[in-house]
Amino acid sequence: MKTFIKISSLILVVSFFFACEEKNGIGYNAEENIGWIQFAETNDAIIQVNTETQPSFNVPVDIQVPVVAEDLTISYNLVPVSGLDPNDVFSNDGTIVSPAGESSYAGPDNNTGIGYVYLANIEFDVSEIPFITELMVFDVVLTATNNANITVGLAGADKPIVQRVSILCANPDSIPDDYFVGDYMLMDAVATIGPGNGTENFESGIVTLAIDPFNPNARTFSAAILPAFVPAQQFITIEFADDDTIKLGLVGSGIACGAGNPEYIYVDAGANSTLWSICNDDDVVTIKYTEDPDSSCGGPYDSSFTLTRQ
C-alpha cells in the first residue's frame, strides 16, 4: 500500500509539472534545439540614443529556444530610414554570435513571470557617429541564423523582428524661444491613482506653455491634479535639461491617502525621464514622471502624460 501511494504521488507531481509548463505557454521539450529569435518585447518601440551621454548602446535579441546546443550566429541588416546611412557609420559586420547554452526561453515572452536571464546583444559604438545636426533613424532587421531549426520570428505569430533606432543630434545650451511654446492638449498617457479613483492624474484639456521667467530652458503651464478631489489649478514646470532629458518639476496635490501618510506628489522620472532632441519637432511629446514616490497611495508608479500642439 505504501509503495502504491508513493507511485501515485510521483505521477501526480510529474503531471502537475507538465501542466504548469503548458499553462505558462512553454511548448517545447526542454531537450529540443528548436525555436526562434525575435527582439525582446520589453524593448522600447524606438530606442533613442543620446550621443552626448551614451558611449555605446545595445539592441537586445530574445532567443526563444529551450536548449541552444551550439554557438548561434545571428544575422541582421541595418536599414536607413532618415539621416545618415548606418552602414556608412558603424563598423558592425551584420552578425553576432551567441554562445552555446545561452537562452532567453524561461522569460516574460513565455508568460513565466520571470525576467530575462539572458539576451543576446547587437552592440553599437557611439564614438563612430560623427557630429550630426539631423536625426539619424534606422531599423535593425533580424534576417537569419546558422541553425535551420531556429527561425527568425515564428510562422503564424506576430513576433518583433524589426527594431527602430533613433540617434539624437546634439542639443544647444539654450533652446529657441518658440520651442514648445503655445497651446497644447494635455492628456494622461499612463496613470494609476487618478484613473483608479474615477478621475485623472492631470486634468485633460488645453494648456498654454510659456517660457519660465527664471529658466529659459523650462516651460510652465497650469493644470489640476486629481481634479475630482483637487479642482484648483497647479503651477507645472517641465525643463529641457542639460543631460538631454525632460524633467518634471515637483508637483504637489495637498492631499494624502490616509491620515499620517505623506503628501501624494509627482516628481521627475530620474534615469527613466523622456529624452529630448532639438531635431525633433515640437508638435507632441510624452513626459515621463514618477507618481507617488513616497508611497502615500501605494506608489511609486511609472507614469506619463502627453502634450500635443493645437
Cα distance between residue 249 and residue 5, in whole Å:
65
Q: How many domains does the chain have?
A: 2
Boundary (domain end) residue, out of 113, 141, 168: 168
The reply to whether 163 and 188 lie within a common domain is: no
Q: What is the CATH number of the domain that holds 146?
A: 2.60.40.2030
The reply to whether 140 and 219 lie within a common domain is: no
Q: What is the CATH number of the domain that holds 245?
A: 2.40.128
> Could you tell me if residue 90 is inside a domain?
yes
> Could you tell me if residue 258 is inside a domain?
yes
- What's at 216, amino acid-wise? P
The reply to whether 41 and 164 lie within a common domain is: yes
The reply to whether 199 and 148 lie within a common domain is: no
The reply to whether 36 and 164 lie within a common domain is: yes
SS3 state at 241:
coil
Q: What is the mean pLDDT of residues 267-286?
A: 90
Lowest mean pLDDT of 114-118, 124-128, 165-169, 268-272, name the range: 114-118
> Could you tell me if residue 212 is inside a domain?
yes
The reply to whether 191 and 247 lie within a common domain is: yes
Q: What is the residue range of 110's domain? A: 31-168
**DSSP 8-state secondary structure symbol assigned to residue 225:** B
The reply to whether 76 and 159 lie within a common domain is: yes
The reply to whether 37 and 106 lie within a common domain is: yes
Tens of pLDDT, residue by residue over 75-100, are 999 999 999 999 999 999 999 999 99
84: Cα separation from own chain's centroid: 24
Boundary (domain end) residue, out of 144, 168, 192: 168
The reply to whether 91 and 161 lie within a common domain is: yes
Cα distance between residue 13 and residue 121, in whole Å:
37
pLDDT greater than 90 at residue 61: yes
> Could you tell me if residue 9 is inside a domain?
no
pLDDT greater than 60 at residue 297: yes
The reply to whether 146 and 193 lie within a common domain is: no
> Could you tell me if residue 8 is inside a domain?
no
pLDDT greater than 50 at residue 24: no
Q: What is the mean pLDDT of residues 225-241?
A: 95
Q: Which residues contact 265 (CB under 8 A, 6 or more apart)?
A: 250, 251, 252, 253, 292, 293, 294, 296
Q: What is the mean pLDDT of residues 264-286?
A: 91
Tens of pLDDT, residue by residue over 123-180, are 999 999 988 878 899 999 999 999 999 999 998 888 999 999 999 888 888 899 999 9
Lowest mean pLDDT of 30-39, 101-110, 119-128, 265-274, name the range: 101-110
> Could you tell me if residue 109 is inside a domain?
yes
> What is the C-alpha radius of gyration for the chain, rounded to an integer number of angstroms?
25
> Could you tell me if residue 210 is inside a domain?
yes
The reply to whether 116 and 232 lie within a common domain is: no
Cis peptide before 195 (omega within 30 of 0): no
User: Which is higher by pLDDT, 293 or 106?
Assistant: 293
Reported in sequence order, the residue ranges of the chain that DSSP labels E, i.e. its strands, are 35-39, 46-50, 56-64, 72-82, 95-98, 120-125, 136-145, 150-152, 162-168, 182-190, 205-212, 215-224, 233-240, 245-248, 251-252, 265-268, 274-275, 284-291, 301-309
Boundary (domain end) residue, out of 140, 168, 196: 168
Cα distance between residue 288 and residue 281, in whole Å:
18
- 247, 270 in Cβ contact below 8 A? no
The reply to whether 164 and 186 lie within a common domain is: no
SS3 state at 289:
strand
> Could you tell me if residue 236 is inside a domain?
yes
What rounded mean pLDDT belongs to the chain? Answer: 87
Cα distance between residue 63 and residue 153, in whole Å:
10
Strands 35-39 and 150-152: parallel
